[in-house]
Every structure is written in structure tokens, then in C-alpha cells.
Structure 1
Amino acid sequence: MDFLMEIIAKINSFLWGPVMLFFLVGTGILFTLKLRFIQVRKIKYIWKETFGGVFKKSDKPDEDGISSFQALTTAIAAQVGTGNLAGVATAIAAGGPGAIFWMWVSGFLGMGTIFAEAVLAKVHTEKVDGEITGGPAYYIKKGLGSKFLASFFAVSIVLALGFMGNMVQSNSISDAVYTAFNVPKLVTGLVVAAIVGLIIIGGISRIASFTAKIVPFMAGLYIIGGLVIILSNYVEILPAFKMIFHGAFNPMAATGGLIGASVKEAFRYGIARGLFSNEAGMGSTPHAHAIAKVKHPGQQGLVAIMGVIIDTGVICTLTALVIITTGSFSTGLTGASLTQEAFTSGFGGFGSTFVAICLFFFALSTIISWYYFGESNIKFIFGKKGITPYRILVLLFVVIGTAMQVEIVWELADTFNGLMVIPNLIALLGLTSVVVNIFKDYDEKLKNKEL
């Protein structure tokens, strides 16, 4: 087992090394420039397209898709997960508070990438057995013209998210619930599998309805909790921002030598954890945006940008400020333990329970969304007949994940995550001109008040 872990770890160090980060960041820079800083120029329309039609009754889920807002909440359910708690803490522990500056940079650039993903997914949809479906596998096959790369992506994401990733999420839930309430892990696994089963059996209509309700609730709960702690330490807010900006370029001076981080580490961990959190360029969230009922693909592209704003700009930033303003970053802890320590510092004994509750909702919603992303690719490979076996396997993996050591599962999930990014980035770069032309068309229709 140790030998296998060593091999997988070496593969991941290559897959997620400087080359992958260079291409992910480079793709973000390319689309940011090609789209002329769309994330800044169109901020008014990003807000309008996201929240303007939230309560439209005509946009109920059906065989033609789901509402734009439901597509966003399904995407955010995947983006906002354990990474927002553990990933941010890991970045700070390894790269110092300055890592958060680079996390913001990765989020800013990722907005260009995720716009491109959402637009291409919306353009290249198919009806599979009467249901609208889309995602990178479809735009790789139809747009790029490569069935091999499309199939490679489809297999990779089913393994990465549908199976391996959901084992990790269920394990995170069972650990948190056991720590806070002493509930046996297997019991938690069976309960989570039952909840997931009841939701996914209803298809995308029930999944979209669930995420539209749970995402605003869980995000609101976490934001309120984080703000209470940050505001109670208000005298540390300005020093925290100073440490973030100063630490991005001079980590040792920013922390007084408490964290022996270099600029290279702050940059590496900030960029990497930011990309892993908002998933821009990874090819996961386009599955949700593909089935949004909008008049123009550009509209859903702008909505996708809001997902990164909420994930990285709001949730990740709140986690970072809680950790820094409470001084917990200097405790030597890392990952979820560091975040838990920060909330315990602010809330006392209730802090551990609060983190467990948030983690439960974050991970549960991620399982639901990742299941759907995998289902879209099961349809691509096998058609609708593959859905029932896939559902059964996902629920089994959810239960199994709670009862095992997940180090090797984490590593395997990272491996297949890396593998699925490669064909997605190839497609994004190969179809750059398509994205630019669609944005120009959207811009023109906007000026002529046709949208």
C-alpha cells in the first residue's frame, strides 16, 4: 500500500506541479485579456443576470433545463465545499497570510476561464433520451471534434468526482459529526446515503430544487458566523489585510517570522488552493450551466462568474479573516483543524459544533452536485441506461467512504482531477475564438437592448 501511495503521490506532484498551474493561470490570463476584463467591466450585468430573475415561476425545472439561478446554485454547491474550510487553512499554514492575496488573483483570473466554460457548455448541449445535457465532454466532441479526448474526460470526471471525490466528502462529514456529536461513522454514512438517494432519484429537477434552497441557507449561515467572529475582533481587521498584502511579497516580515514562508510558497499555495476551490478550468461546473434556460450563452457565462465571486471572494475570504484575526494561523495547525481552532477561539466550545454543521451542509451539497456532474458523463458514455447502476455505485461509495482511511482516496481523486483538466484546457484554448465571438455577439445585443 505504501508503494502504491508513493507512485500515486509522484504522479500527482507532476500533474499538479508548476506546469499545470502555469496552464490554468495562463488560460485565465488569456480569457481575461481576450474578453477585455469582463469580470470588471460587466460587474453590473453579472449581478443583474444572477439575481434579476430569481423568483420567476416560469423557470421551474423540466426536460428543457433549469433556471439560470438554479444552475448557479448547483455549481456553487460543488464549488463551496470542504476546500473552503480546509483548503484556505492549508494555504495560510503553508504560505502564510500572503497566500490569500494570490488566492484572490487566481479567483480573478479564473472568472475569465469559467465564463468560457459556461458559454461553450451552453452552446454545445444535446438531448439524451429526451433530457437536455451538456458539459466539457460535449463541447470537446462537438466543438473540438475529438471523441477520444471527450471520452477521456468523461471517464476521468466520473472516477474523480462521482466515486473518489464523494468518498472523501462523506468521510469529511462522518469525521466532523463523530468529533462534535460522537455519532458512529457508519451510521452517519447510511444517513447521508439515504438523504442523497432521496434527492438524486428525482433527477435534475429535484437536485436543482434542493441546491436552490440549501446553498443560500448554508452560505448565509457560514457568512453570519464568520462575520460575528471577525467583527468581534474588529481591531485586527486592518492588520489582517496588511498581513495579506504585505505577506504576498514579503511573508517573513508580514508575520514577524512566525511562519517561515517564502514568496514562492505564498504564491504556489494561494494560486493552487484558489483554483481547487473555485474549480475554474477543471471542467466540473459547466455541467450545471449547460442546462440553464437563458436566451443567450453569454448570460450564463456572466452568472458563472458570480459563482467564483461567492466562492473565492466571499466564503474563502471569510475563512481567511477568521483564521488571521483570531491569531490562529500561528498555532502550527493546518487544514480543517486550523479552521476549527479559529472558530473555537471565537465561539468557545460551540465553535467545533458550528464547523461540523457547516461542513455537513457543504459536503452534502457537494456530493449532490458531483453526483450530477458524473451522471452527465455517464449519459455521454452509456446513455440513460447507465444511470441506475451509477446511482447505486455512488451511494455505496458514500457509505464506504465513511469507514476507511482516505489518504489513498484523496490521492486518487487528485490524480483523476488532474487528468480531467488536461482535455478541458485543450478544448478551452482550441475554442478561444468561439468564446470571444459569442461574447461580442452578447455585447452587441446588449447595446441594442435585444436582451
Structure 2
Amino acid sequence: MLDIVTLLNQIDDVMYFPILIIVMAAAGLYFTIKTKGVQIRLFPESLRILLEPSSDENSVSSLQAMLVSTASRVGTGNIIGVSTAICLGGPGAVFWMWVMCIVGASSAFIESTLAQIYKRKDSDGKFYGGPAYYIEHGWHKPKLAILFCICLIVTYAVGFNLLCSYNLQSTFIDYSFYNSLTPYIIGIVIAVLTGYCLLGGGKRIVSVTSTIVPLMGLSYVAVALIVIILNYANIPAMFVLIFQDAFNFQSIAGGLAGSCLVYGIKRGLFSNEAGVGSAPNASASADVSHPAKQGLVQTLSVYIDTLLLCTATALMCLSTGVARDAAVSGAPYVQNAISSVFGFAGPVFITVAMVMFAFTTLLGNLYYVDNALILLNGKKMPSKRFMNIFYIAATVIIFIGAIIPMDAAWAIADITMGAMTLINLPTCMAMGKTAFKCLKDYESQKKQGKEPVFMASNIGLSEEELHHWK
């Protein structure tokens, strides 16, 4: 097993440095320059759009689509991912997460705008789409669209769920009852619960957790703020530590693959998924008058995930000054930080939050693959028998995730996510002109005092090229 883990880590290291760092930086900077910093410049406009109601009561609004994509982003990565980055990469990883967020938000704008332009409508009048559809219908590369679908399925059904399951069980490590059998027990419980919900039962469980998770997210931010405020004396030194480590280029150059720079980019990407190609699947479902609206709204989702939730974890941990090293990377570091203020209640709160985040993430990840399976099955839903077999296999993967080594769980998630990104971002760069024209059309109509309404001819596309827009 160790040899396999070593191989996975080597692939992971090479994929992110130099390949993905260059691709992500090039794409993010290119989109930022070409859109004149749309993710910052039109931030107030994105807030205004968020509150717009849908024109049809039965359709999905911008806010609803944004909440779906935010729910898929928010999860164990906001807690465990940040902790791992700080413990293994250093405090400077927080700064590079921020950079990744702001630059990457432009990629989120482009991919979600393209998803809106090339979205489809089913027989029930509901919209759907995503990268596979703009790759196939916009870039006219159906084979690449199929490859992207396969990568998405492997990422969400395997990579992310293995890691989510591992992260969930790791929150129990510091409890006295934890022993060598605990991961197996936790793995069986969450696999059975997830399988039960996927196979048609557990609707009440899904409903309850979906309601609780947003409240848990707000509670988590509130608890983090309390910890930070009570450690206010350490705040100046904490920021000095973050920036000193972030710009310690001698240290970064000495071990780049394990540096704060690479860990910040890795964990930032895992958390906010900007440019990965996941959020566009949700973005395509929104009923808006102009594609650029959903692109703008999706930049907010990236900010909420990283600048709010990830930053809350980072500052809470660093402000307490508790020991950080490889031995406590993951849940223990966060639990140690929160227990310094709340005692035993702190780790219990983190465990409850992780259980809620992880469970909804596991279900959300598997629902995300539906669009990909439909496209691979000739644009129609696979048979119920096939889906049942698929869900059973997915629950087995969840069990395996609880018992594999931490390095293997992170490496598999990084590699599969990286594969999606390496297809989606170059596609977005190749199709960028379409999104740029769309943004220009939106701003032109706004300057004329109009409520922007999109027409294909406005950006040089024909109705035949698009499925929904005239």
C-alpha cells in the first residue's frame, strides 16, 4: 500500500507543480485582464442580481442555483483542508488561498457564463448543462466532452467521496473510544446511511440535514469569530506570520511541492472548485435573462467559500497559537484550537459540524454525476437497475474511504480534481471570446439603462448553435 501511496503522491506533486499552477495562473490572469477584473469591478452588481426573483415561479433562480453550487463547495475542505494546508505547508498557505480565490473567481465567472449560454431544456421545461455541453456544442469536441464526463464521475463518485469519508472519520481520532476498529465502524455507518438515501429512502434525513447545514455553517463562523475575538491580542502577530511565511521564497524554493504556495493552491482549489467545472452544472439550471448574470453570481459563491469559511478556520486556528505539525494535521488541529476556548464542547461541535457537512457532501457529490451519466447514456437517464448498481458501488467506495491512509485520500482527490481542471480551464480559454462578448453585451445594455436580455445574434452566434437562447 505504501508504494501505491508514494506513486499517488508523486503524480499529485507533478500535476500541481508545474502543470496546474501554470494553467490555473495563466487562465485566471487571462480572464481577469480580459474582463478588466470582473470579479472585483462588478461585485456590487453581483449582489444586486442575487436578490432578483426568477421570472417563472417553477424555475430555478440565480440565488437558488448559487446556493446549490455553494452547498457543493462548502464541506470538509473548509475545515480539514485548511488545517492540512497550514500544518503541512505553513501559515503562508492562507495567503495563497486568498490569491487563488480572487484570481480564480474570474474563472468561475467564465465557466458559469458559458454553461448558461450553452444550456439545454428538458421535456419538463427545466434547464441543465455544464462543461460537457459547452465542450460538445460550443467547442464541437464531443469526444473531449465524453472524457470530461468520465473525469467528473471519477472525481465526485470516487476521489471526493473517498476523501470526504476519511475526513469524517478523522474527526473522532482524539476521542478516548477511538481504536483500530473505529474507522471500519464509521465507514459502515455512513456507507449504509448514504446508500439508504440514494436508493430512495431517507428523504426525511436528507431534508433535515439540508436544512441544518446552512445553520451549522453560520454557527461555525460565529464560533470561529468568538475564538478570534477572545484571542485578539494575537491577531497582529498572526497576520505577520501569514505574510512572512507566504513570501519566504527561500523556504518555498527549497521544497516547492510541500510549500505553503502549493498547499494553498491545492486546498484553495479543492475548497472553492473555481475552474474545476463542477459549479457550471448548477449554474446552467438557473432561469436568468442574461448568461452573464449567473457568471457574476457564481463569483460570490467562491468568495463565500474561501474568504468567509476557509478564512474563519485559518484565523481561528492561528489566533490560538496551538501547536501545528504533521501529527495534528486535519481535524485534530482545529479541535485543539477550538477546545482552547470552549473546552470539551469545542471538539464535539466540530465533530457534529463535520458529520453534517460530510453527509450532505457525500450525497451532493453523487447527485452531481447525474448530468454526466445522462450525457454518456445518449442524453437520457440510465435505467433504474444501472443506477442502483452504481449507487451500491458508490457506497462501497465511501466505506473504503474511511479506512485508507490520509495521504492516499488527499492524493486521489487532488489527481481526479486536477484532471477535470486540465480539461475545463483550457476549454474556457479557447472559448473565452464568447464569454467576453457576452459580458460586453451585458454591460452595454446596462449603460443604456436597460435590463439586460440576451440574444444570440448580439454576440455573433446563431439560434441553431444554441438550444435555448434566440
TM-score (norm 1): 0.87
Q: CA shift at 1:424, angstroms?
A: 0.7
* Matched-pair contact (CA < 8 Å) for 1:278–1:308: yes
2:406 maps to 1:411:
no
Matched residue of 1:311: which SS?
helix
Instruction: Summarize the Cα distance change of 1:424–1:222 in structure 2 as closer, same or farther, 3 Å threshold.
Output: same
Q: Could you tell me how far 1:30 is from its partner in structure 2?
A: 0.8
Partner residue of 2:241? 243
Residue 115 of structure 1 corresponds to 109
1:187, CA displacement in angstroms?
A: 5.4
Task: Indicate whether 1:276 and 2:270 are aligned.
Answer: yes
Please give the alpha-carbon distance, in whole angstroms, between the structure 1 residues aligned to 2:157 and 2:414.
13
Instruction: Report the equivalent of 1:354.
Output: 349
- Corresponding residue SS for 1:90: helix
Check 1:132–1:180 CA distance in 2 against 1; reply closer, same or farther (3 A cut). Answer: farther
Counterpart for residue 378 of structure 1? 373
Structure 1 gap segments, 5+ residues each: 253-259
Alpha-carbon distance in structure 2 between the residues aligned to 1:16 and 1:250: 20
Shift of the alpha carbon at 1:18?
A: 1.8
> Residues 140-193 of structure 1: CA distance to partner in whole angstroms, max 9, x if unpaired?
111111111111111111011123321321232234257559595555445544
Q: Does the Cα contact within 8 Å between 1:66 and 1:208 map onto a contact in 2?
A: no
1:314 aligns with 2:308: yes
User: Could you tell me which amino acid in structure 1 is paired with residue 293 of structure 2?
Assistant: Q
Whether the 8 Å CA contact 2:16–2:262 is kept in 1: the answer is no
Aligned twin of 1:401: 401
- Corresponding residue to 1:230 among 207, 228, 231: 228
Paired with 2:346 and 2:435, the residues of 1 have a C-alpha distance of 45
**Shift of residue 208, structure 1, vs aligned partner:** 11
Report the count of equivalent residues: 437
Q: Map Cα deviations across residues 330-353 of structure 1 (whole Å, 9 max, x no partner).
A: 566323322222112222112211
Are the equivalent residues in 2 in contact too, given 1:199–1:206 (CA < 8 A)? no
Are the structure 2 counterparts of residues 308 and 163 from structure 1 closer, same or farther at C-alpha, using a change threshold of 3 Å? same
Find the counterpart in structure 2 of residue 324 from structure 1: 318
The 3-state SS of whatever aligns with 1:352 is: helix
Deviation at 1:413, TM superposition (A): 3.0
- 1:32 alignment partner AA: T
User: What residue number does 1:367 align with?
Assistant: 362
CA distance in 2: counterparts of 1:351 and 1:72, whole angstroms: 30
Using a 3 Å threshold, how does the CA distance of structure 1 residues 248 and 403 change in structure 2: closer, same or farther? Answer: closer
SS in 1 for 2:442: helix
Q: Quick check: 1:151 aligned with 2:143?
A: no
CA distance in 1, matches of 2:337, 2:249: 21
Alignment partners' CA distance in 2, 1:276 and 1:28: 16
Percent of matched pairs sharing the same residue: 33
| Distance in structure 2 (CA, Å) of the matches to 1:424 and 1:153 | 8
Q: Look up the match of 1:25.
A: 25
Query: Structure 2: any 5+ residue segments left out of the alignment?
Result: 453-470
Indicate how the Cα distance of structure 1 residues 329 and 306 shifts in structure 2: closer, same or farther if over 3 A, else same.
farther
Counterpart CA distance in 2 for 1:290 and 1:199 is 25
Partner in structure 2 of residue 138 of structure 1: 133
Measure the CA separation in 1 of the matches of 2:5 and 2:89. 25
Give the Cα–Cα distance (whole angstroms) in 2 for the partners of residues 122 and 201 of structure 1: 31
1:33-432, aligned counterparts within 5 Å?
33-53=33-53, 59-60=57-58, 66-127=60-121, 130=124, 132-177=127-172, 180=175, 182=177, 185=183, 188-189=186-187, 191-193=189-191, 196=194, 213-250=211-248, 265-328=259-322, 330=324, 333-382=328-377, 383-385=380-382, 387-405=387-405, 407-432=407-432
8 Å Cα contact 1:46-1:306 kept in structure 2: yes
Shift of the 284–328 alpha-carbon distance from structure 1 to 2, 3 Å rule, reads same
Shift of 1:70: 2.3
- Conserved in 2, the CA contact under 8 Å of 1:174 and 1:189? yes
Tell me how far apart the structure 2 counterparts of residues 262 and 105 of structure 1 sit (CA, whole Å): 19
In the alignment, is the contact (CA less than 8 A) between 1:340 and 1:352 conserved in 2? yes
Alpha-carbon distance in 1 for matches of 2:206, 2:357: 16
Structure 1 stretch displaced more, 354-363 or 90-99: 90-99
Note the aligned Cα RMSD (angstroms).
3.1
Paired amino acid for 2:426: I
Measured in 1, the distance between the counterparts of 2:371 and 2:174 equals 35
